[in-house]
Structure 1
Amino acid sequence: MDESSFLDEVAWRGGLGETSLVRAMSEAVLRAFAETLVPDEARALAHALPEPLAAFLLDGPHLGNLSEEALYRRVADREGTLLGFAIEHTRLVLGVLGEKLPETTRLRLRRHLTPELGELLAPREPLPPPPVHLRRPHEPKLGKGNTLATGRPGSQKPLSEARPERAHAESVVRAENPHQETKLSSSCGLTQEREHETLAEGEPGPRRPVSEKGR
């Protein structure tokens, strides 16, 4: 880790553009944080940092056992800003510091700091990956030309191309020779005609004469 990469990371996370502003803010936070440490802890931390960041920690004073609120107030005094801004700046700079430190140095500091101060050095958790959109089983898979942007209006088979059935299965409309049984041109005749029982084909008199009755 060098000073440039440290300041660049602070600037990127804080959305800050001016290098001089980022350097002044980092110096105020590190000098105030050094006051929460005892001399041995301050030297161990300075050993893991490049110059001039290490010098901010060695200048002192090293009071040890300061509360989280006292740290924020010292940062506000050094920056000449409101407490809310000081809290935001402190968490930003110490968050980057905790990620840049070797793990052994960070764990040593957290053992001697109060839980609240030690938490300021905890590395940020990585952001979760974006959710993967899974297609539902009943959702049709859209192919080329089937999206709202590329599809054509209307259905895939317009009504003009459809060939609907014009009548039901038993309708005379679908018969090749409707009324075949009753048309004179094609009919075999009515029931009387087929059984030769019409007046034209009948013989005079009954089939059984009266003279034969009673026998």
Structure 2
Amino acid sequence: MDYERFVEEVQRRAGFEGRDEAERAIAVAARTLGERLLEQEAVAVAGGLPGPVAAAVRGAAYQGDFDRDELYDRIARREGAPRRFGMEHAQAVCQVIGEALPEAERLRLQRHLPDWADLFTPRAAGAPPPRPVHAPAPPEVGHGSTLATGRPGSRHPLSEAHPATAHAGSVARSDEPHAETKLSSSRGLTQERLGDTLAEGRPGPERPVSETQR
């Protein structure tokens, strides 16, 4: 793996926006890794890495057998970044180192640092990298503004809906909208329904017309 591809892989996996950020993380992580390796091991590892990465590993002085938590802390301090960023950058750089090294050198490094062995395990072919901590989280369903993320609508399709579009007294809601005026079912004319016919209405004057004074 050449240096250009090495940088591209780290940039993509760590979610850096620019190349400069990726190169800085590579230099810091490679130097910190070199501080954990004895000189003989550092030379062996550097021999399988691209030039700038190899130089950072070889240029570091051994500083004892610190654990991976210290690895993350050192990288975060040197980058001036939160610890979770230091951890992610270390993991991205170490994984690409594991993929860049010839298999024999990678296995040697993993045997030398058994507690860190999984950091150098190559990513499975075709497996997507985890979402970088730099990337914004996708919106939750019901909180977005697109069809894919927006709040779901009715659980019933339109074909099963029964909208009440008419008011209570509308003929649109009646099974027999013209029942009151059909000859077959009506109760009579309007006057009969209201009790205003000669047969049912209120009587007129008690005195016949013939007795009225003219």
Task: Provide the TM-score with structure 2 as the length reference.
Answer: 0.56
Corresponding residue SS for 2:120? coil
Structure 1: runs of 5 or more not aligned: 129-215
Alignment check: 8 A CA contact 2:43 2:58 kept? yes
Which structure is richer in relative contact order (CA contacts within 8 A, separation 6 or more)? 2
Pair 1:123 & 2:111 matched: no
1:41-82 CA-to-partner distances (Å, cap 9, x unmatched) read 100111111211111011111134221111111111211111
Separation in 1 of the partners of 2:85 and 2:15? 14
1:61 aligned partner: 61
Q: Report the count of equivalent residues.
A: 127
Separation in 2 of the partners of 1:14 and 1:50? 19
Alignment check: 8 A CA contact 1:31 1:56 kept? yes
Residue 15 of structure 1 deviates from its aligned partner by: 2.8
Separation in 2 of the partners of 1:64 and 1:95? 22
1:202 aligned partner: none
| Superposition pairs of residues 48-197 of structure 1, within 5 angstroms | 48-115=48-115, 117-127=116-126
1:162-186 CA-to-partner distances (Å, cap 9, x unmatched) read xxxxxxxxxxxxxxxxxxxxxxxxx
Letter of the 2:36 counterpart: T
1:102-149 CA-to-partner distances (Å, cap 9, x unmatched) read 00000001111132x111001112347xxxxxxxxxxxxxxxxxxxxx
1:33 aligned partner: 33
2:46 aligned partner: 46
Residue 36 of structure 1 deviates from its aligned partner by: 1.3
1:13 aligned partner: 13
Alignment check: 8 A CA contact 1:91 1:120 kept? yes
Structure 2: runs of 5 or more not aligned: 128-214
Task: Provide the TM-score with structure 1 as the length reference.
Answer: 0.56
Residue 14 of structure 1 deviates from its aligned partner by: 2.5
Letter of the 1:10 counterpart: V
CA-based RMSD: 1.4
Separation in 1 of the partners of 2:60 and 2:13? 28
1:210 aligned partner: none
Alignment check: 8 A CA contact 2:14 2:88 kept? no
Separation in 2 of the partners of 1:12 and 1:50? 18
Separation in 2 of the partners of 1:16 and 1:76? 15
1:148-204 CA-to-partner distances (Å, cap 9, x unmatched) read xxxxxxxxxxxxxxxxxxxxxxxxxxxxxxxxxxxxxxxxxxxxxxxxxxxxxxxxx
Letter of the 2:118 counterpart: E
Corresponding residue SS for 1:120? helix
Separation in 1 of the partners of 2:83 and 2:66? 17
Q: After TM superposition, where is structure 1 displaced by more than 4 Å over at least 4 residues in a row?
A: none
Separation in 2 of the partners of 1:12 and 1:108? 27
Letter of the 2:25 counterpart: M
Letter of the 2:122 counterpart: P
Letter of the 1:35 counterpart: E
